[in-house]
Chains A and B, each alone.
Chain A
Amino acid sequence: MTTQTQQLQAPAAPVRRPPKSGLTGHRFAGPLFASPALLGLAIFLVAPFVLAVVLSFYRVQLNSPRPARFVGFEQYTRLFTDPDLAAAFGQALLNNFTFALIVVPVQTLLALALAVLVNRQLRGMVVFRTFIFMPLVFPLALTAVIWRLIYSRGDQGLLNALLGLFSGGTITSHDWLGDPATALGAIIVMSIWQSVSFQMIIVLAALQSVPAELYEAASLDRASKWAQFINVTVPGIRNTLIFVALITTIFSFRLFDQVYLLSRSGSVDRNSTETVMTQIINTGFDNNNVGQAAAMTVIFMLIITVIAIIQRAAARQRGGIQ
């Protein structure tokens, strides 16, 4: 019981603040120690973002001898009023949100389920853990080739062959990536397969730090396995789960490589799978239209910021992050 009391008290104990007079003696210590990190932030985060904002007010073409031309808010008005651009950007945002809405809950729960599964003390569990973790270790460019074969149209596709086998040939061969209705779904499945193990490892670490005494006490109280899971495990790893949901959300909005690798190489209607990230790269580096891409980046950044703030506020309200 002693360890438990310590555990509960530890976060509650207030951090001892040094006396105020001490600070005056080291006026520059704080900024000095923070400067390497601040410099890094300035160079790699603040400067590029400020540049993006500036570029978004210009008409800039990559590899062009023409000087950048100041156009004010033109890139933004185009993004929202030009029927083609607005539709494409809206579709990309919609794809991102659809992806996040499905992937965040599914992947977090799946990670939890897998973590609970591999947390059992069974012989050979290391082998299972290794297998589940493997997709994350393989380069995505490599696994994408395999997935293209899996999703391939016609009876050559592994998925179609499998479905045909189980359905006795009643399921006709489907074009999983080529059909706009299933293209995003196919990418979602591949994406979850590829990255769920990362979240699983984080949850697993949290699971192993839940004190065994709590389970012992719960089983003395005759709590069923399910009751133990709901009342001991989940509260014990609550912060981790919130963290996992947060980073999965961020990953979902950053979605790029899966889409790029799976849909560029096939004969796919790009609009059906385009995410904001792939669209920005396409606009900026395939079409060389840097100004337009910068405007997209700025809008996207604002949207992500709003989502992050809402998510943090929601997590705080539920007493999540302490």
Chain B
Amino acid sequence: MMTIPKPRGGAGILTAAAAASIAALVLTGCGGPGTGAAGPTVEAGSGEGTINVWAVDGQAAENDALKKIISNFESSQSKIKVNLKLFPSDQYTKAVNSAAPGDLPDVLDFDGPTLASFVYNGKMAPLKGSVSEETLSNQTDSIKAQNTVDDSVYGVGMMNAGLGLWGNKKLLDAAGVAYPTTPDKAWTADEFTGVLDKLATVIPGGKPLDLSEQYGFAGEWGTCCSAGPVIWSGGGTMLKDNKASGALDSQANIKSLTKFASWKKYTDPNADGLAFTSGRVALSWVGHWTYPTYKALGEDLVSIPLPNFGKGTKTTSGTFAWGMGATTKNGAAAGKFLDFLMTDDSVGTYTDANGAPPATKTALAASGLYGPGKKLELLGEQLSRACGQEDKITDSCVSVTRPVTAGYPILTDQVGKAEAAIYAGKDAKEALSAAARAIDQNFADNDGYKK
């Protein structure tokens, strides 16, 4: 009986502790906006001293290339030192988002679609004034579209990314299939079905196509690189005037994605990732980054534009780029470092290491892989024909930038989920309408992610 008052005392402590932690939470919840809304407070500084640089821990070759560029930078002048910090890729966005304004680095790496949210949270500073005009004007249009938020440029990129169909010439020839080599001659979706029918007869098992299912459609790959080009090529968009209803669930998108799903019966699931190199499939829908493994096919490897769903072939562009922390006290030195990163030498060193297409005009023209007349000329040409964001798509442009919005996390989740469901056999209208409603609800909850 005597024990009764004691637990009560304990419960009192528990309540107090809980109350304290809630208070702490509410405080931080309210503290966030204050710091975020403060906006960039960049100081040009002396242009000397040490600058802090944050980057994503990428492939070993990329990291080595970056370190080499930094040491070149330090030996090219004596006033600025670089302190590089690498973060694991899955922790990077979290690290930037949770950094207090004073802890933000002078220069940071970011993934294209996360930029709008970083700007929205007051983590990034506009580059105008810190980075030279020459550097800014040498950026290709496709990377510029990704790095521009509300008409201000927040980033400069060394590399870009592009998609295409890799073809196995031996198998294509065996089926008597002639293939297009320029974006303007891309197969229409119906022609593509005919091509698959022909190829199915020469491939044992009758599955001549790889759509990179192993990456999973219900995620960024789906939105970026699979549903994205299909939607844009069909004349649709994901958002229109910041709303998904009426855009994502449009008749054009329903038609295009249903067509895409109809190719499932020709598609090798590629669970082992070896479908193309082992010759199990004749066509592989994937990005430039598979070139180092795919080039094992030698002369048989050909690049083909993605199918045209009505408004010309489209690919997604955009990838990691570099920007400036919102509170840097050494904007001049940070700008000089960014200028150095964008020189042809640095871009060459970096893109040679990872095989990506260069994102600066001069380096792209000089590229031994993506330049005119070179092996991956098609991907280079696609990138030079930039559309900008999805609302500016025309029949002749090819590279589209993913929607630049702070609401991108919900957008990519819902579009990927809808694509996977449609591909698994769900009614396209139902899946896309549900996704559109979820996106609009989240945008409404956040006042349209407007500043």
In the assembled complex, B14 has its CB within 8 A of some CB on chain A: yes
Q: When the two chains form their complex, are residues A67 and B17 in contact, meaning their CB atoms are under 8 A apart?
A: no
Q: Within residues 77 to 125 of chain A, which ones have a CB less than 8 A from any CB in chain B?
A: 82, 84
Q: When the two chains form their complex, are residues B121 and A63 in contact, meaning their CB atoms are under 8 A apart?
A: yes
Q: When the two chains form their complex, are residues B425 and A287 in contact, meaning their CB atoms are under 8 A apart?
A: no
Q: When the two chains form their complex, are residues B216 and A267 in contact, meaning their CB atoms are under 8 A apart?
A: yes
Residue of B30, B121, B437, B446 touching A84 (CB-CB under 8 A): B437
> Is chain B's interface secondary structure helix, strand, loop, or mixed overall?
helix
Taking CB atoms, residues of chain B closer than 8 Å to A154 are: 205, 207, 268-269
Taking CB atoms, residues of chain B closer than 8 Å to A12 are: none
Interface string of A51-64 (1 = CB under 8 A from B): 10011001111011
Most chain A CB within 10 A, of B9, B219, B410, is at B410
Closest to B280 in A: A156
Q: Within residues 266 to 308 of chain B, which ones have a CB less than 8 A from any CB in chain A?
A: 268-269, 271-272, 280
Q: When the two chains form their complex, are residues A149 and B272 in contact, meaning their CB atoms are under 8 A apart?
A: yes
Q: When the two chains form their complex, are residues B421 and A269 in contact, meaning their CB atoms are under 8 A apart?
A: yes
B398 to A: closest C-beta gap in Å: 25
Q: Within residues 131 to 161 of chain A, which ones have a CB less than 8 A from any CB in chain B?
A: 148-149, 152-157
Q: When the two chains form their complex, are residues A267 and B207 in contact, meaning their CB atoms are under 8 A apart?
A: no
Residue of B17, B214, B280 touching A43 (CB-CB under 8 A): B17
In the assembled complex, B33 has its CB within 8 A of some CB on chain A: yes
A226 to B216, CA, bound (A): 49
Q: When the two chains form their complex, are residues B216 and A265 in contact, meaning their CB atoms are under 8 A apart?
A: yes
Q: When the two chains form their complex, are residues B17 and A54 in contact, meaning their CB atoms are under 8 A apart?
A: no
B228 to A: closest C-beta gap in Å: 15
> Is chain A's interface secondary structure helix, strand, loop, or mixed overall?
helix
Category for how many chain B residues contact A: 35 or more
Residue of A31, A153, A269 touching B420 (CB-CB under 8 A): A269
Residue of A51, A64, A267 touching B218 (CB-CB under 8 A): A267
Taking CB atoms, residues of chain A closer than 8 Å to B417 are: 270
Q: When the two chains form their complex, are residues B14 and A42 in contact, meaning their CB atoms are under 8 A apart?
A: yes
Could you list 27 examples of A-B contacts with CB < 8 Å?
Answer: A20-B2, A31-B10, A43-B17, A46-B18, A47-B18, A51-B21, A55-B25, A61-B446, A65-B120, A65-B122, A66-B33, A149-B271, A152-B271, A154-B207, A156-B269, A156-B280, A157-B271, A263-B218, A265-B215, A266-B269, A267-B213, A267-B216, A267-B217, A268-B420, A269-B424, A287-B413, A289-B445
- B contact residues vs A (CB 8 Å cutoff): 2-3, 6, 9-10, 13-14, 17-18, 21-22, 25-26, 29-30, 32-33, 35-37, 93, 97, 117, 120-122, 205, 207, 213-219, 268-269, 271-272, 280, 406, 409-410, 413, 417, 420-421, 423-426, 434, 437-438, 441-442, 445-447
Q: Which 6 A-B pairs have the closest CB atoms?
A: A65-B36, A269-B424, A50-B18, A152-B271, A269-B421, A68-B29
